[in-house]
Structure 1
Amino acid sequence: MSSEAQEVGAEVVASADEDPEKLSAKYENLCRDINLDKNTEDTAFKMYQKVTNNFSLEGNEKHWMACAIYTASRQSQTPTVSKQDTVMGSCLSLNNLLRSCRMSIYDFKTKIKQWCSMANMSEEFRKQIDNMERKFSITLTLFKNYRTIFERVFSCPPNEKKHNKYSALHSKCSYIKLDDICWRLFLCVKNQKPSATVDLVTSFNLMMCCIDLIYANVLAENRTDLINPDFPGVPEFSEAKPRDHCILSHFCDMADEAKVMKNTVFKKIIQAFFEAKTIYGNEETMLGLLSTENFERNHKSLNISYEQYVLMAGEFDERILAAYHMDANEHTNLNDQALRPPVTPLTRQQDLPAMSDRNFEPVAHATSNVKHLSAKFTTQPTDFVMQAGDEVIHKMLEMIGKMKQRFTTEFPIRSEAENRFKLAMSVYFSLLHHILLAEKNNKPNIDLKKNLSHDMFNNTLMACCVELVLAAYNTELKFPWVLDCFGINAFEFHKIIEIVVRHGTHEGRLTRELVKHLNSIEETCLERLAWLRTSPVWGMIADVETLPTSAEVNNDRSAGALQIFLRKVYLLGWLRIQKLCAELNLKDKMPDKIWTIFEHSIRVKTELMKDRHLDQIIMCAIYIYIRVTKMQDPKFSDIMRSYRNQRQAVNSVYREVLIKDNDGKPEYKDIIYFYNYNYVPEMTTWSIENLNKNLDRSDLLLSPHPIERQSQPKRLTSGLYVSQMSKNEFQPSPNDDVYSFHCSPAKDLQKMNEKVRGGKRLLNFNEDSPREMSYHLKQLKTVRDDRDTECK
């Protein structure tokens, strides 16, 4: 590293030394406490030592040991009783591990992700962690709904103490036992077919099917004392047809979809339980589950079945939720970002629909999103679109058919894939109609046939509609799954998002959450996915000598695809620089100077972005400015700490940065290493020449930063829109009354008088001397005087 590079380099934080004997004793005691097998114990400790040699681990040592033990246990295999097969994992109870380490579920979910990055775990294992976290978040959300619904349907008899643990000793089904078996039934049902619970709406419907089944069994046993008399769904009791009573329509906004699930997926799972002797009763009617002879063994059997699943899957034991009090506030320490309202992106906030007055409730909002997308459902092009001609429409429908085939093949639930794609197709035809209609209004001579012949436009629009449906159902298939499914690159996909937001919002089909989701995935494309080495953007960059500045792309009215892309990237970079600088208390001209560094790195040193993240370049730009200007603070660790508070922050951004790619074998290290060995050699000379504090830089011209565009018409309510008035739009008529607000007539008159008084007097006005008359006026006066004399 050159002397200049050393001057602006970042210090590497050294890891603290631990007493090996003390550490080993702690680890061994933990392993004995959870009865861990020897192979897993040795593998986990080697992994722990390797990570501690490379990283400084903050916090409780046992928490990081727990991460190592869990990771190692999921990599091992355990033989079955027959010795012929094996199961993944060492059958370690995750809840017991956390209990022994005194580690909360929230802490585990936070640290296991950091551990995966530091231990360089496989992408498959990381997906398992993400799925486990998401499943628990969905179950936690559903449990809150379950509590409310269960207490609306059932009630504790007056002679029974609601939370008396001794009441569970009686063989008769009590209120507390009914609650217990109902929740365990749902846990077993959803784990019987995990692919059936990939989204929140489907999981909620499945839970309602379980409550509905228990409700029918309570009626069949004539236990009306357990049913809430205030529940509006209570029927007139009939011993002949207790199973015919259905409560789904009372709680499911999409009751038809729930009833379809009840008669298909749910029915098959319950029948499989009967065949496997997981539950006992009348297999044909699915009744008798709560009878005196079946209740206890059903309760015990469901518990055993669920315990076996948890040990094999290595997941959280979700029965612990029932141990918490029913106050929703007590669950906040368990929840995370998985099912909270989506964060508001920095870009295009002006396009968001008006905020709802209701508090965010995941199930209700997911159902609302699906309902909005389902409005005006159609599976055929509109008459206006059909004007493009049979040949174009046939080609378009053929394209949709191919995409449908790929989607149904990749989607986890084959039975649900058809319905999901039908809804996406309905949204596609609706958006296509409004997009083409708007183009026709702007350009009356437009050729619809030509517009519909663009394959990439149709592919990306259809893919975007599929993404909207997946987001509405809150599915686990997160972006960019849809790009992988249809083979679309992020650079092409990002172009359609702004069009969909504009027309979908104006139509009222996209809720605020869905618009935020689309804006977020557009930012994902701009910050990372479009910069992958396989992206077509690199071919476009190679065709130009130097990339244009922000000012150039903003002033270019005939901008091409690359210029529009850079315009969005520049704006996103500037907004994030502002936020991060405000967090670091960097004020005055500092953000503008950091922006100038950032823009130079994008324009001239574009290769720094290849397979990397925009935020990595922003953090490096901030720190090189700090070093060049010889500021004492903030340190790089302060920048990373402030970055973690940003809405888009992800740990992998500063923990895993590409250093080099050796024949398809990428090498990753932390961002400080990247800054010292990749960023500094490229940016040091220019930064010192332009920003050195010791040099006279009065002639330095800072690059102008981007400015957000004006907002589109914003939909407040049905049929009511607010839009910003353009400068040339207001043309007052002299016959109309004009009202001016926030203006003072007295002040205006005063300004006019001052203007008149301050003007230059070109003529010498002398009031004492008579004014000299022009020649023509003199002649006119002579004629008039002569006529007056004649008249006299």
Structure 2
Amino acid sequence: MTDINGVTNTPFDVVKPALDILDTSFGKIFERLDLPPDIQNGALQAYREFKINGPEDAQLWLCCAIYSELQQARMKEMLSRAVAARAKRKNSGDQQQEYWSKSSQCNSWNMSLSHLLRCFNIGINVFLQKMKHWNMLAHHSDTFKKRIENLQRRLSIDKLLLRHYKNVFQQLYLKPDASKEEDLLEYQAIYEFGWLLFLVVRNELPEYAVTNLITSFQLLVCTLELVYVNALEVHQSKIINREFPGIPKDWTEENFDILSLHGYCAIDKIGALIPDLPVSGVVVVRNSFFRKTIMMFFSEQRLVGNHTHMRELIKDGLLEVNLTSLNRNYATFVADINEMDERLFLKFEPQTNPKEKEVAKDAPLKELNSKLWMIEGHKFCEAQRMNLYQLLTHGNGLPPTLPTHIRDAIDKDDANSLTNIQNTLRDMALKFGTAAETTAHLSDEEAKRRFGLSSAIYYKLLDSIIKAELQRKPGLKITKLLVQRTFNATLIACCLELVLHICGQKTLEFPWVLECYQIEAFEFQKIIELVVRHHNGLLSQALIRHLQSVETECLATHIWRRDSQLWQLDKLPHYRNLQDTTESEDKENVPKCVNITHKSVIICMRKFYLLASQRLHDLCKPLGLLGNPMDFSHMWHIVEYSVTAHGSELLRQRHLDQLIICAIYMYGCMAGLRLTFTQILQVYRRQPYMRRSVYREVPMEGAPCDIIAFYNQVYIPLMTFYSQLLKCRLRVRALLQPNQKPAMEHTHRQISPNHNFYLMSETVPVMCDQTCNCTTLIAEATENALSGKKRSYSFNKSSPQHYQPKRPNILRRSTANQ
């Protein structure tokens, strides 16, 4: 396959895996792992070299073989990068030589060890023991063996660290009662945030220092102190332990000055909670490595808050923002270097008394046993238990029928609305039973229990949503909501998706529920926002994150299916037009080119553009394309133009990521960057939202093709005009004086001088359009350059993502991102 420059640039070979000799269970495992052919075939070849006895040992050996192949592929690529870097320094004047290794072909070695073990249902300790035998049989190098030893040592250190983390945390904070749901959720979120921040900070250490016990304890205390002082900024917070000696003396007073916490330090008091740990060493680490790392996180937007004093990480709703950001960053890291996901060690325990722990452990199943929707015969893991526990013990529990006060509020003349709800539930239950039996071989009884639990969640959420709507519009007749079949069907389907996720049925994973009921993704993503906004503590953080990931998947691909109602628009709107529409109070002022008649369409498209900007940034950063803000601005406008001008041809039945990948490559060609599809796809594979079908199976007229064929045959012919205009603008930029930077209008407003958190404006860069005279622009720029005049060219971006400052230069742990 060749690109538009005639260069052979195939990042992968479409090879069907050799599964003919494997049994059904192995085939399902490979399907879940989604391994590329080279890794899969290499693992199978190594696996066949040993005589395996017994199915359990066979799975263990195969798991070791796959992990071995992943590690070897990683080490080979790291070596090829080192060789390429040396060659680049040696032949820096040769502009034609391609230093990126074509032989790597975008190897899929970036997979977390936790995901691999989960697919095989193998514990980490069993795996490590078997891996030692595998290393001896396969005669692996000492470097490889050392990695397994370090992994085992790190596992032991993590268990020790986590024990001390829980002990210190319980002395700093007070666990609220189960009745105080908001406080309990805050307590859980801070508990998770502290451990996650520690993991992310520790990963910035050089590899030899990660398994150093003293260093790890010092960083743990630094992290606990930082989170604790930030938690104190939530004045009069009920989860703060007022008996802890490290609390400021006047913190409990109403006139306490929050700004006094900017210089407050509790290192001595918190460090004293860990026996035999010298506090002086903690202070040294805090003032050097820890501070530099946190400041780097602020500059890279991994953390949002007051970067000057390292404060305001928790208050004003920023805790959830920072928690989401760190989770995304950590997920990328563990996949990037095949690490163990150490977040799995962090199991929130709602009770501290051992007897109470045992009661809490059995509570979900005991509660379920008393309900008709008991999912018998299903083995729940700890996370599933906690999800069920929160669902079943919330408030007065889940109602078996529609709440009485809703029935009483319905007018007698509108009694048919109740019948409509019952008919909708009955029809959807029958359809689920039939489809689940075909797809997942669920028995009729199992399907009834799952749908029964879904119905109970539906009644609970419907009650919450109606209450919220009545508060917003006191005169609203609730029958208007109950008679909407689309609303009720999507809400029921959303509740069923939660139940299927809890049960962990692989064959029934999203978007199966959409296909089962033929629900449009555009409608489904609307109901997700309602559920997340009005669940009132019913759903656990894990379930909320699942719904958010489902919403993201809908925005990225499912809302662009062939029959989506978005294609009924005359033209997909620009991001700027959405901003104008949102801020306009007069509907007559909506720009005619937007042609938006429904508020939900505006909200959906704004979410879509925010997602597009975030994912474009995620790919540009590792590729080194954020050094000049104008580069990101141009790539953003390529993406936006491909959506608004050619969305029907480029986005229908396809994925947002495909347009982003093509936009980056096209800009690289136009700007003369030595950027290949292989490089872009290697970065894409490291993203937690990566899907191999995005670049291997792009829908075309006829059979699917790879991303390069799509780029050459579909993308470029449609984007040729815009690419020429982009070339024109880049030539104008090149004619500016070397030290002259194009003036940029203010595109984002900083909330306060102490924050690195911005609100984006709706201004759009002045780009060439169809009336642009490229020759005139170039001639004018040349004349100005020769005469010394300065012409201000605006390159602002309407993208919701702002430019990221350069990171401080500190000693970092070597990863494949470098």
TM-score range, shorter chain: 0.3 to 0.5
